[in-house]
Chain A
Amino acid sequence: MCTFADKVCADARRTSGGRGNQRVERTFLPCSFKSLLPYRQARKLGSIDLTSSHSHPLGPIMVLVAAGAAVLLGLYYYFTPLTGVTGAPGVLLVIGSSLALVLDAFILWFGGRGWLFGVFWVLGLLGAFGTIVAAWFLHAWWLAAAIVFVFAGLIVTLAGPSQPRRAAA
């Protein structure tokens, strides 16, 4: 089956070589995710201007992994008996905020280094702060530990070098 990843890479090469500019159409998803989607479906996901620089992936990946772990831990706390917060609405809150951090990680990764980056970096920081406070009051210690790594990822994202997106010549 022809995947979007195959198609878009070929398109990018064609566009770059044919017109001599660096504007390519691409989806919001990274290649690894793109490869999971059929071309037509993924194409509907829209496009982003890649003229802006692109974050080094280490920080966002840390945020992504840690926030993803927080989601899974939240689900564990919510569904497992005798966690002390089984079925508690407060756990749904941290699951929701952790999911928001997952989304934030993608935006930081692929949203470029413009104003969008700044906004979502600050939102990520606030979200992580709120989540860790909530996790603390839920006595969800493992979830709080995961959010510590989210903080670390955010710092790395900020401190790490930007990675300019250049299409192949």
Chain B
Amino acid sequence: MTTRALLRSAPAATLGLALMVALPAVFAQNDTNTPGATSGGIPGQEQHGPSGPGAEPPRGNVVAPSSAPASSPSSTTDAAAQQPSGTLPPPKQVPLVPAQATWNTFHGQLNAQKYSPLTQITADNVKSLVKVWEYHTGDMSDGSGDRPTSVWSATPIFANDTLYIGTPFYRVIALDPGTGKVKWTFDSKSTLKALTQPALKNRGVAYWQSPNPVAGQPCQKIVYLGTMDAQLFAMDADTGKLCQGFANKGVLNVDQWNDVNNKYPLSLLQPPTVAGNHVIMGWAGKDWAYAEAPPGTVFSVDPQTGQRQWSFAALPPEIAPRTGTANVWTGMSVDEGLGLVYLPVSSPSPNYWGGNRTEKIPLATSTTALNLETGEVVWSRQWVHHDIWDYDINSAPTLMDITVNGQQIPALMQATKMGFLFVVDRRTGKDVWPIEERKVPGGDGSIQGEVYAPTQPFPTKPAPLLDQSKKPPIWWVADALGLGQCSRLWKSLDYAGMYSPPTHNNNGVLAYPDSAGGVQWGGVAFDPRGKTAIVNFSHVVQSIKLYPRKEYEQLAGGSGNEQGFYPQEGAPYGMSLDNALNWLGMPCWAPPFGEIAAIDMSTGDIKWRRPIGASQKWGFYMPESMGSVTIGGPAVTAGGVIFIGASMDAKVRAYALADGKELWSDIVQAPAVANPAVYEYKGREYVAFIAGGNTILKDQVGDQVAVYALPK
């Protein structure tokens, strides 16, 4: 009897299963294969034991009544920093892995596996892959004019025999999946100003279709597009015409619910997560700008009417006015069988100083499981206590059924910026492999009002993707060409392990991995047949320094994109964030700068890892053995192939799932900074990449949809 079959039987069986799963977790704690056990924390200090049962109820929070504004229509459950109930909804007969090839969400499937069961393209024939069509949207900007730079991190979605894409100019284009011929376009005519993020960003669109379509009626299939100015557009998937029955003639003003610390609009850059009868939205804000910011509420609305169904807030209402965010700005995952939606929750504001939020905020920087129907918190695991490093949980957790020590476990893997991969039972949030609370460095006294978490959670398996226990080695080439510049920088930066807090002393603190390092929003792919997880990640070093307000005002010039000076307005400290580079712009830390790895999810061991892509500056490629910083993520197929862009060199590649060997590559217009889509149309398997670029990687923008298949 499978675990999933047990789940379907009855709630009582579910409770029983929770106990059963706790046992292998206990057994797993005795597993001595813990290569990462000494990584992180304070080197040489006694480590604390496992944190026990794992998912802890929040402390210091008050359950509050709904904070929904009066204008919210027919809201049912408006939750604010709820206590986890631990109660699973009644299970449904919905398999975790769709029976047929599906790529109709940002991560391919609601389970975020980015897995295709298609087998036409294999490791043996992928070298024959050719570009069968490409499409240029025209929606890109290099920032040279009045229009901000475009950053396009969308995954195309395949649904309704159509390939739907959203653009950074907030248009939707419906394409023929076999030819790239335009079926229809929709222009939201949204403002093209960087109201929150420093660039015009878009991560695509979402799709819903009625389980009981009414013949002859429009909007039985709907495509959703969010905009920088917090408008959600709903349009008929067949025609591109706005759905008149949705909110205000097809447009939902989500900013109507922006009623606390309304400093900026709730930018809908990430497409909503659509599951069952719910369109669930997080939002993105303005990083590092304000101490007090809108609290990170997540909204669920009705797919056809736009009426608010429930909301969730990670911040307790009594704390929210003096902080903010703890929002969900990236994708979510859903187990429709369990009836849970999993939220990767970001850190509260301001990002690098926490003196305004000294209380515990257990739902911040967490993975939080909500009842899909009600929005109630079922369980939550906080991955960074009192986050003062901007370690937002930035990708949808990947749901997977695995067998560990002979026990079948419905698990999820949460990738993080820290390079940790946390694996827990997705019904309860409890450890699959032990997650230990370890002592971490405290402050040096230079920052007033700050409190520091004495411990942080450290997974013992899989091993950390990066060694964050000590300063990364210096790249001698950069140091030599910089005439010792890197060595001097390293000496001037504090670092006693990853959780070394920001400081005012010297040149600040070394951040490794930094907020742009580790794993980004592409998340983890999973091959359910071989129980193999695939993840790409970056090695990036930055320096962070806090400046008392007066000093900051004197020093701060303009801010760059994702680095430079940032005010943290309202906090007593502004901050600076800089990449650790020499005067030539070369990284001071030793390569590889980015890698891709495969993990055996039965043992938690890494099967293989290798550098990914090539770094590129002014057009010059560095050797591929050095790898590239990566943004974007993989897709994996039953044909034994991993497809991924993600690298600085604007190439898309195929790797062998078995051993990581590079099998194929092609040049695209700009780095492909999202997951590719894999779909079948009229008997032919296609792989689609969006090459839009991201200024975090380099100043190269694109508007290309590149689609590949085997020759006929």
Q: Which of A's residues lie within 8 Å of B, judged by CB?
A: 81-85, 88-91, 93, 134, 137-139
- Distance, CA A119 to CA B273, complexed state (A): 68
Which A-chain residue is minimally distant from B614 (CB atoms)?
A139
Q: Which residue from A81, A89, A139 sits with its C-beta under 8 Å from B618?
A: A89
* A93 and B621 alpha carbons, distance in the complex (Å): 15
Any chain A CB within 8 A of the CB of B203? no
Tell me if A82 and B668 are in contact (CB < 8 A).
Answer: yes
21 A-B pairs with C-beta separation under 8 A? A81-B669, A82-B667, A82-B669, A83-B667, A84-B619, A84-B621, A84-B650, A84-B651, A85-B619, A88-B618, A88-B619, A89-B618, A90-B618, A90-B619, A90-B620, A91-B619, A93-B618, A134-B620, A137-B621, A138-B621, A139-B621
Give bound CA distance, A83 to B616, whole Å.
Answer: 13
User: Chain B 643-674 against A: per-residue CB contact (8 Å), 1 yes, 0 no?
Assistant: 00000011100000000000000011100000
Q: How far is the CA of A116 from the CA of B649 in the complex (A)?
A: 42
Q: Which residues of A contact B649 (CB under 8 A)?
A: 84
On chain A, the residues within 8 Å of B667 by CB distance are 82-84
Chain B residues lying within 8 Å of A138, measured Cβ to Cβ, are 619-621
Q: Chain A residue with minimal CB distance to B617? A: A90
A85–B650 Cα distance when bound, in Å, is 10
Chain B residues within 8 Å of A139, by CB:
621
Chain B interface residues toward A at CB < 8 A: 618-622, 649-651, 667-669
Nearest 5 CB-CB pairs, A to B? A88-B619, A90-B619, A85-B619, A137-B620, A90-B618
| A88 partner residues in chain B, CB cutoff 8 A | 618-620
CB of B129 to closest CB in A, whole Å: 15
Min C-beta distance of A132 to chain B, whole Å:
13
Query: Shortest beta-carbon distance, A92 to chain B, in Å?
Result: 9
Give the A-B pair count, Cβ closer than 8 A: 30
Residues of B within 8 A of A81 (CB): 669
Report the minimal beta-carbon distance from A48 to chain B, rounded to whole angstroms: 38
Cα of A93 to Cα of B618 in the assembled complex, Å:
10
Q: Which residues of A contact B668 (CB under 8 A)?
A: 82
Q: Which of B621, B622, B650, B651 has the most CB of A within 10 A?
A: B621
Report B-chain residues with C-beta under 8 Å of the C-beta of A91: 619
B651 surroundings in chain A (CB, below 8 A): 84
User: Closest Cβ of chain A: how far from B697's Cβ, in Å?
Assistant: 14
CB distance from B85 to the nearest CB of A (A): 53
Q: Bound complex: CA of A88 vs CA of B649, how far in Å?
A: 12
| A90 CA to B618 CA, complexed, in Å | 5
List chain A residues, Cβ under 8 A from B618: 88-90, 93
**Which of B620, B622, B651, B669: most chain A CB closer than 10 A?**
B620
Closest to A84 in B: B667
The complex places the Cα of A81 from the Cα of B618 at a distance, in Å, of 16
Query: What residue in chain A is nearest B621 (Cβ atoms)?
Result: A139
Name, among A83, A90, A134, the residue most crowded by chain B CB atoms within 10 Å (CB to CB): A90
Collect the chain A residues with CB atoms within 8 Å of residue B619's CB. Answer: 84-85, 88-91, 138
Q: How far is the CA of A90 from the CA of B620 in the complex (A)?
A: 6
Write out the residue numbers on chain B whose beta carbons fall within 8 Å of the beta carbon of A90: 618-620
Give A154 to B620 CA distance when docked, in angstroms.
26
Provide the residues of chain A in CB contact with B621, threshold 8 Å. 84, 137-139
Residues of B within 8 A of A83 (CB): 667
CB B662 to nearest CB in A, in angstroms, measures: 15
Q: Which residue of A lies closest to B134 (CB)?
A: A82
Q: How far is the CB of A130 from chain B (nearest CB, A)?
A: 13
CB nearest to A81 among chain B residues: B669
**A93: B residues at CB distance < 8 A:** 618
Find the B residue at minimum CB distance from A90: B619
Residues of B within 8 Å of A84, CB to CB, are 619, 621, 649-651, 667
**CA A9 to CA B142, docked complex, whole Å:** 55
CA distance A83 to B618 in the complex (A): 14
Complex CA distance for A93 and B667, rounded to whole angstroms: 22
CB distance from B337 to the nearest CB of A (A): 43
Closest chain B CB from A70 CB (angstroms): 15
Which residues of the partner chain B approach A85 to less than 8 Å between Cβ atoms? 619
Residues of A within 8 A of B669 (CB): 81-82
Interchain CA distance A58-B284 in the complex, whole Å: 65
How distant is the Cα of A84 from the Cα of B619 in the complex, in angstroms? 8
Please give the distance in Å from A90's CB to the nearest CB on chain B: 3
Quote the shortest CB–CB distance from A143 to chain B (angstroms).
12
Apart from A89-B619, A134-B620, A137-B622, what are 11 other A-B pairs with CB-CB below 8 Å?
A81-B669, A83-B667, A84-B621, A84-B649, A84-B650, A88-B618, A89-B618, A90-B619, A90-B620, A137-B621, A138-B619
A89 to B622 alpha-carbon distance, docked (Å):
15
Query: Chain B's nearest CB lies how many Å from the CB of A14?
Result: 54
Expressed in whole angstroms, the Cα–Cα distance for A4 and B668 within the complex equals 51
A137 to B668 alpha-carbon distance, docked (Å): 18
**A92 CA to B611 CA in the complex, in Å?**
29
Considering the chains assembled together, what is the distance between the CA atoms of A93 and B619 in angstroms?
10
A82 proximity list for chain B (CB < 8 A) = 667-669
- When distances are taken between beta carbons in the complex, the residues of chain A under 8 Å from B620 are 88, 90, 134, 137-138
- Residue among B618, B619, B621 having the largest count of chain A Cβ atoms under 10 Å: B619
* A10, B620: Cα distance in complex, Å: 52
CA distance A137 to B649 in the complex (A): 12
A18–B667 Cα distance when bound, in Å, is 67
CB distance from A78 to the nearest CB of B (A): 9
Taken together as a complex, chains A and B put the C-alpha atoms of A137 and B616 apart, in Å, by: 9
CA distance A84 to B671 in the complex (A): 10
Residue ID in chain B nearest A133 by CB atoms? B620
CB B349 to nearest CB in A, in angstroms, measures 37
Which of A83, A93, A134, A139 is most buried by chain B, counting CB atoms within 10 A of its CB?
Answer: A139
